[in-house]
C-alpha cells in the first residue's frame, strides 16, 4: 500500500520531480548572462561639437559635463514606407523609402547653465535674430538699427539670413552609448540638427520640482558600433566627476576575509599575478598586502564553513598550490607571482558564442593593428606558443563552465588546472579554432611588442 514515506523517497532517489527556480532562469544566466535584458539607466551620450567656430568655445571638461547632464534619451526609430503589389493574385510588399523618427533628449537645467550655453551657441550660430551682423560678417553688439540714419547704420540680418549657416555645422554628430556588461552598443546620429528646443515651466507652487530642458533631434542616418567600455572607445566616460575609489569588496579596496569569494584570498592572489603580468607593480604590492592582512584574520571555523559548499578537486588544490591557509601570501615576491602564473591565470572573457550558431551583428570595423596582432598573426602565434594557447584555453573554460557555475575567474582557473587531460585538449583545440573570431571581435588582444595577452573581462569585479 502506498505511503507518504514511499512518496517522499522518490525525491530522495534523485527523481526530477522537485526542482528549484534555476531550470526557468537558465535562459538569462547561462553563458555569463548572455541573454539578460539590458538596463535602461545605463547609457552615455556624447555631443560632438566644433568649438573652433567660437572664440570662447567649450573646454574639454565643459563638453564632458554636457554629456553627463543628459537625463533621458530616445533611441532611433525607423518607419518604412511600403507599397502593396498584387501579382497573379499574390500579394507582395515593396519598400519605397525610410523615415528616421526624431530623437528626444532631456537635459537637467544645471546651475552652471552648461546646457543653456550649448543651446545659445547653436542658436546664435544658425539664427541671426538675437545678434547683429556687420558688413565683414562679424557679430555686432548693436541691436536693430533700422531707424538709425546715415553711416551709423550697420547691416543687420534676421532669421536664417546668416552666411554661417552654410559653413561648418556646429553640431557634427551625437553618439548614444548603451552600456551593458562592460561593453557598449553605440548609435551615432549623422549630421544632426535641432528641430525644437524647449525650456521648462516655472511654478511657485511646485517646491519639489527640478527644471529640465528638452530637445528634439532630426538626423540623416544612423551608424551602429559595439565594443568594450573604456575611455578611448567612449569619450568622456569615467573621466571627470567619477568615483575611482575601488570597492571595499575588491582586493584593492581592502578585500574580504573570504577564501574563495570575491575579494577573498584566492581572488587576491590571482589579482597580484594579473598586476605583475600587466606591469602594474604598485597594484601588485597593494593587492598582496591587503590579501596577506585579510588572510591573517581568517579563522579555522570560517574555513570549514566555506569549504562545505565547495566540492571540487581543483579548488581543494589551492591549499597545496598557493601556500597555507593561514599565510598564503607570505614572502610573496614578483618572482613567485610569475612562477604561480601557471596555477592561477589572468582574468579573461570570451565571445558570447558557445555553439557557433549565432553571429555577432555589430562589430568594430577598425581594429588597432599597429599595437596588436591581427587575427591571422594571432592564429600563427597561438598555434606555435603553448603558453599563450593554454592562457586563452583557460579563458574559454571560464566562459563555458566557470561562469555558469557562478565561479570567480580565480576559482575557474584553479578548476581548469586540475581538470582532466581530455578537457584541456578540448579547450586548447578550441583556442586555436576560435582565435581569429575572438581577435576580430576585440575580446582578445595580443601586444605586438611584448606578446602579452589582454582578454576582455565581461563580468564586473572578476
Domains observed in the chain: 43-127+162-228 (2.30.110), 132-160 (no CATH), 246-344 (no CATH), 369-462 (no CATH)
CA-CA distance, 376 to 82, in Å (whole number)? 44
Give the integer Cα–Cα distance in Å for 143 and 5: 96
pLDDT: which is higher, 398 or 88:
88
**Per-residue pLDDT, 45:** 94
Whether the pTM exceeds 0.75: the reply is: no
DSSP label at residue 54: S
More confident residue, 188 or 19: 188
Please report which confidence band the pLDDT of residue 399 belongs to, taking 50, 70 and 90 as the band edges.
confident
pLDDT, one tens digit per residue, over 43-100 is 999 999 988 888 788 888 888 899 999 999 999 999 999 999 998 999 999 999 999 9
Say yes or no to pLDDT of 324 above 80: no
Rounded alpha-carbon distances, angstroms, from residue 378 to 198, 389, 390, 391, 458: 53, 10, 14, 13, 21
Using the predicted structure, report yes or no on whether residue 366 has a pLDDT greater than 70.
no
Is the Cβ–Cβ distance between 227 and 183 less than 8 Å? yes
Site of grid cell 512518496: 7
Mean pLDDT of the chain: 73
Long-range contacts for 377-384 (Cβ within 8 Å, ≥24 apart)?
377/446, 378/435, 378/436, 378/439, 378/444, 378/446, 379/432, 379/435, 379/436, 381/446, 381/451, 382/431, 382/432, 382/435, 383/432
Mean pLDDT of 399-403: 78
pLDDT digits (tens, 9 = 90+) for 32-47: 788 889 999 999 999 9
Round to whole Å and give the CA distance between 187 and 177.
7
Alpha-carbon distance of 310 to 141, in angstroms, equals: 76
Q: Which three cell numbers stand for residue 400?
A: 563555458
Average pLDDT value for residue range 224-246: 79
Amino acid at each position: 500500500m502506498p505511503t507518504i514515506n514511499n512518496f517522499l523517497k522518490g525525491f530522495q532517489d534523485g527523481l526530477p520531480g522537485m526542482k528549484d527556480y534555476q531550470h526557468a532562469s537558465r535562459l538569462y544566466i547561462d553563458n555569463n548572462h548572455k541573454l539578460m535584458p539590458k538596463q535602461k539607466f545605463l547609457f552615455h551620450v556624447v555631443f560632438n561639437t566644433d568649438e573652433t567656430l567660437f572664440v570662447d568655445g567649450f573646454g574639454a571638461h565643459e563638453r564632458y559635463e554636457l554629456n553627463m547632464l543628459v537625463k533621458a534619451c530616445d533611441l532611433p526609430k525607423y518607419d518604412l514606407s511600403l507599397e502593396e503589389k498584387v501579382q497573379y493574385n499574390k500579394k507582395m510588399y515593396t519598400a519605397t523609402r525610410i523615415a528616421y523618427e526624431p530623437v528626444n533628449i532631456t537635459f537637467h537645467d544645471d546651475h552652471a547653465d552648461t546646457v543653456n550655453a550649448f543651446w545659445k551657441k547653436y542658436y546664435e550660430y544658425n539664427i541671426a535674430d538675437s545678434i547683429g551682423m556687420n558688413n565683414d560678417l562679424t557679430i555686432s553688439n548693436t541691436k536693430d538699427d533700422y531707424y538709425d540714419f546715415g553711416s551709423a547704420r550697420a547691416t543687420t540680418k534676421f532669421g536664417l539670413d546668416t552666411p554661417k549657416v552654410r559653413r561648418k555645422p556646429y553640431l557634427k554628430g551625437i553618439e548614444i552609448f548603451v552600456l551593458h556588461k562592460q561593453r557598449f552598443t553605440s548609435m551615432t546620429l549623422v549630421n544632426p540638427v535641432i528641430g525644437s528646443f524647449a525650456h521648462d515651466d516655472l511654478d511657485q507652487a511646485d517646491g519639489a520640482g527640478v527644471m529640465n530642458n528638452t530637445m528634439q533631434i532630426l538626423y540623416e542616418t544612423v551608424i551602429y558600433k559595439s565594443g568594450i567600455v573604456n575611455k578611448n572607445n567612449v569619450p568622456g566616460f569615467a573621466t571627470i566627476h567619477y568615483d575611482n575609489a575601488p570597492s571595499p569588496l575588491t582586493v584593492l579596496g581592502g578585500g574580504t576575509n573570504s577564501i574563495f569569494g570575491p575579494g577573498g584570498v584566492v581572488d587576491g592572489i590571482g589579482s597580484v599575478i594579473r598586476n605583475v603580468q600587466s606591469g602594474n607593480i604598485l597594484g601588485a604590492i597593494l593587492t598582496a598586502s591587503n590579501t596577506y592582512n585579510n588572510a591573517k584574520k581568517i579563522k579555522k571555523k570560517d574555513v570549514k564553513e566555506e569549504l562545505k559548499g565547495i566540492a571540487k578537486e581543483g579548488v581543494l588544490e589551492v591549499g597545496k598550490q598557493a601556500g597555507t591557509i593561514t599565510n598564503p601570501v607570505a614572502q610573496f615576491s614578483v618572482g613567485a607571482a610569475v612562477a604561480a602564473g601557471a596555477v592561477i591565470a589572468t582574468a579573461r572573457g570570451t565571445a558570447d558564442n558557445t555553439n557557433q550558431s549565432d553571429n555577432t551583428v555589430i562589430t568594430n570595423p577598425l581594429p588597432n593593428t599597429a599595437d596588436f596582432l591581427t587575427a591571422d598573426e594571432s592564429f600563427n602565434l597561438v598555434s606555435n606558443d603553448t603558453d599563450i594557447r593554454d592562457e586563452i584555453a583557460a579563458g574559454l573554460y571560464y566562459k563555458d563552465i566557470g561562469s555558469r557555475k557562478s565561479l570567480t575567474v580565480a576559482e575557474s582557473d584553479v578548476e581548469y588546472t586540475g581538470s582532466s587531460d581530455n578537457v584541456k585538449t578540448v579547450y586548447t583545440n578550441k583556442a586555436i579554432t576560435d582565435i581569429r573570431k575572438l581577435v576580430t571581435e576585440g575580446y582578445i588582444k595580443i601586444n605586438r611588442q611584448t606578446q602579452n595577452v589582454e582578454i576582455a573581462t565581461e563580468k564586473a569585479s572578476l
